[in-house]
Amino acid sequence: MRCLGHLHISVVEGRNLSVKIDARPSVLLQIGKEQARTAPLKNLSSKWLAEFRLDVASEDSCLTVTLLDDHSSHPVGKSLVPIRDLISIGTAVQWVTLKDPSGRDVGQICLVLRFLKEISNVKRENGASIPSAHHHLLNGDANSELSSSTSSLSREDDDQDGIVPQDDDHRSKKKDQAKNTGRSKYFVVAATAAATILLSVFAWTSHQKQKSKYHEVKEGDTMSSIANKYGLSPDDVFEANMSVTSDPDRIYPGDKIYIP
């Protein structure tokens, strides 16, 4: 079966869960035939802090999130998350609302979701643009050669018809024209190669700069530890990331923290 990519899932915590005081809740994740399940909680804490990866075969797939209780044979509640909504987002933190069979809300679960394309698909997409660039360059060279050859044939025909006298000056001019044409082709090729190298260096530099501006939250990271790592104050880092979190004490693995 063709694999579109992988969905990385961090099951963080739950809130307002409608379970009994002695419940042992766990979370079941499923995409098609792929599934994973957290270990059941053994205390009153509602934090699982578990990570999984499920294969995704189609954009039309859905992630099914089901809250289970080891003391019950029936699910407490479930929710569906469309994969299509996650593909263009990158990393997303979502509080998924669970509903029981009657449609009643039975709580929420915090998930960190990140979709990554299959490596072969990325290579295929990247490779698709390369031949067109080479094709364009080759066509340009071919047109140049064709134009040069046509001009050369035209001059030879004129020479054979006697239009241009075959004297020493004429031969000297033809040699100079041939040298100039060769130099022009050399400079065009050299300029094209130099431009390609400069664009590659610029793209790589831009990528490195963009990459260095963000810190991906790992397990155990805090806003203060991230700020200290980059020699900044926690307030500056928090103010630059208010779109990510409204509470500096609530950041989750997979969050992208902007480093101002």
Q: What's the pLDDT tens digit per position in 31-42? A: 999 999 999 988
pLDDT, averaged across the chain: 76
**91 and 183 assigned to the same domain:** no
**112 and 11 assigned to the same domain:** yes
Q: What's the domain count of the chain?
A: 3
In a domain, 52, yes or no: yes
Q: 144: left (phi > 0), else alpha (psi -120 to 50), else beta?
A: alpha
Bridge partners (DSSP) of residue 95 are 110
**197 and 247 assigned to the same domain:** no
CATH classification at residue 218: 3.10.350.10
CATH classification at residue 51: 2.60.40.150
For 79, the 3-state DSSP assignment is strand
Virtual CA dihedral for 151, 152, 158, 162, nearest 10 degrees?
150
**114 and 9 assigned to the same domain:** yes
Mean pLDDT over residues 165-185, rounded?
Answer: 60
**189 and 227 assigned to the same domain:** no
DSSP secondary structure letters along 104-152: -EEEEEEEEEEEEE-HHHHHHHHHHHHHHHHHHHHHHHHHHHHHHHHHH
**23 and 113 assigned to the same domain:** yes
In a domain, 75, yes or no: yes
Dist CA 66 CA 78 (whole Å): 4
Q: What would the pLDDT profile of 68-118 be if each residue is shown by its tens digit?
A: 988 777 899 999 999 998 888 878 899 999 999 999 999 999 999 999 987
In this prediction the pTM is 0.48
Mean pLDDT over residues 159-166, rounded?
Answer: 48
Give the pLDDT band (50/70/90) at residue 129: very low
**110 and 195 assigned to the same domain:** no
Q: Is the pLDDT of residue 128 over 90?
A: no
Q: Contact, 87 vs 113, CB < 8 A? A: no
Range of the structural domain that residue 112 is part of: 5-118
Give the pLDDT band (50/70/90) at residue 132: very low
Take residue 135 and report the two structure tokens written for it: 């094709």
**54 and 77 assigned to the same domain:** yes
**21 and 41 assigned to the same domain:** yes
